[in-house]
Amino acid sequence: MASVFLFHVVGDLTVGKPEMAEFCETETVEAAIRAIGESTEAGIPVWRKRSPKMVIETPEMRQQRFMGILNPFDIVSFLARDWCLEDQERAMRTPVSEVVVHNASLLTEVDPGTRLIDALEMMKQGVRRLLVPKSLGWRGMSKRFSIIYSGKWLKNIDASSNNLINQAANLSRPSSSTATIRDKFCCLSREDIIRFLIGCLGALAPLPLSSISYVGAINPNYCFMEASVPAIEATQKVPQDYPSAVAVVEPTSDGQHKIIGDISATKLWKCDYLAAAWALANLSAGQFVMGVEDNMSSSRSLPDFSANAMHGDSKLANGGGSARARKFSSRSIGFFTNPSSPSFGIGRNMYRGRSAPLTCRATSSLAAVMAQMLSHRATHVWVTEADTDDVLVGVVGYADILGAVTRPPASTIPETQTS
């Protein structure tokens, strides 16, 4: 076990984190789209309203108010329903309580003095967000906590340092590490943990330079769908836990899967939600992830589509957008940018910009994959065979990385290979 997990506490990761503003269950889908677009994560926690009679709220009461985390895929799936497509204005006014997937186990409140190793164990078990009370004067207490958790530091402390030891012992008690600001919290995500680990690569050596295959970070139990099936079937396949993604594949003659794209919450984060909902309901998975021409000849008529026509200046497309009507194409979803070849079927072109799946090879180093996820703000990376770029063998998500870095070290580390 790397000492960095024992010597640091959750409070060390909250320095500079903004205060969390609760998003209420009575807010509309339209408001949620704006909030997600402005958030630093591809998802927002949804809360029940606090009772006005509640003078002091305990952690248990707060936990009962938490409903779940609303992500872009949840919204697009909801807007792809038949009645939503027929009455988009009504759909946009729907309370998010009818859209969010209820799961109170995705968030838990912890004290700033909670050890990082304990926080990692919670996240490995499925917790996505840690609710941490904002504290007055928190400057990081990891060294003082290390006096308690690391016996070797005690050897350098003489008898005159007893007061410091007693102070550290007092700091270790929950909710007493520093004065908390009443009813002010910040949220730590698994992405925050990965970002912290990137800054501690030396303390984790030689693990970060080992391949993801060697450290056991590849999850072979990924969700997938063939390119020819309706894209709407992705709503039945996306897992509840991260990575919240479905790979869109083309089968090979030997039974393997060639990845051509994915349908996920992170891909839909900055998209035009109404256009994406129409495409999800009417196109095949391959068309959805790879693009459809404006002048595509098809028996299915493509409507004149304006995602913002009914909402005036409401900024729903890519965080901005306009009310200008346009002919629908999958490029209008918001993540198709650069036309290229070869073509995908008749009348369909590949638009490989942000729509291209994020992939790595089984021989890629753990550090490289972590950096890849952070640079693309992604919750997952698809893993392909060592000698190919598109034959899928698994996926790496947050939980897989956390499991790899906290796993007992092997006796030997082989020569690393990176790509």
Q: Which pLDDT score is estimated for 195? A: 93
Instruction: Tell which wins on pLDDT, 162 or 284.
Output: 284
Structure tokens at 235: 């709503």
Tell me the three state secondary structure of residue 313: coil
Greater confidence, 162 or 332?
A: 332
Residue 279: what residue type?
A
E strand or H helix at 122, and its extent?
helix 116-124
Residue 377 dihedral angles phi and psi, to the nearest 5°: 50, 45
| CA end-to-end span of the chain | 26
| Residue 192 near residue 13 (C-beta atoms within 8 A) | yes
pLDDT at 148 over 50: no
Please tell me which residue, 338 or 328, carries the higher pLDDT value. 328
The answer to whether residues 186 and 129 touch, using CB atoms and an 8 Å cutoff, is no
For residue 66, the surrounding DSSP H or E stretch is: strand 66-70
356-414, pLDDT tens digit by residue? 889 999 999 999 999 999 999 999 999 999 887 789 999 999 999 999 999 876 544 45
Secondary structure class of 70 (helix, strand, coil)? strand
pLDDT at position 316, please?
A: 53
258-301: per-residue pLDDT in tens? 999 999 998 898 889 999 999 999 999 999 988 764 434 443 44
- The tens digit of pLDDT for each residue in 13-64 reads 988 888 898 999 999 999 999 999 998 888 999 999 988 776 788 889 999 9
Cis peptide before 251 (omega within 30 of 0): no
Sort strands 44-47 and 380-384 into parallel, antiparallel or unpaired: unpaired
Instruction: Classify residue 16 by burial, with Cβ atoms within 10 Å: 0-12, 13-18, 19+.
Output: exposed
41 or 179, greater pLDDT: 41
SS3 330: helix
Tell me what the pLDDT averaged over the chain comes to: 77
What is residue 255's DSSP assignment? Answer: S
pLDDT at residue 18, as a whole number: 86
Give pLDDT, residue 294: 41
The residue ranking higher by pLDDT, 128 or 292, is 128
Of 17-21, 113-117, 243-247, highest mean pLDDT: 113-117
Q: Is the pLDDT of residue 349 over 70?
A: no
Cβ atoms of residues 271 and 330 within 8 Å: no
Higher pLDDT, residue 339 or 293: 293
Over 50: is that where the pLDDT of 147 sits?
no
396 near 360, Cβ under 8 Å? yes
Does the predicted model carry a pTM greater than 0.75? yes
Give 333's pLDDT tier (boundaries 50, 70, 90).
low
Averaged pLDDT, 181-210 = 88
User: DSSP of 380-401, one letter per residue?
Assistant: EEEEE-TT-SSBEEEEEEHHHH
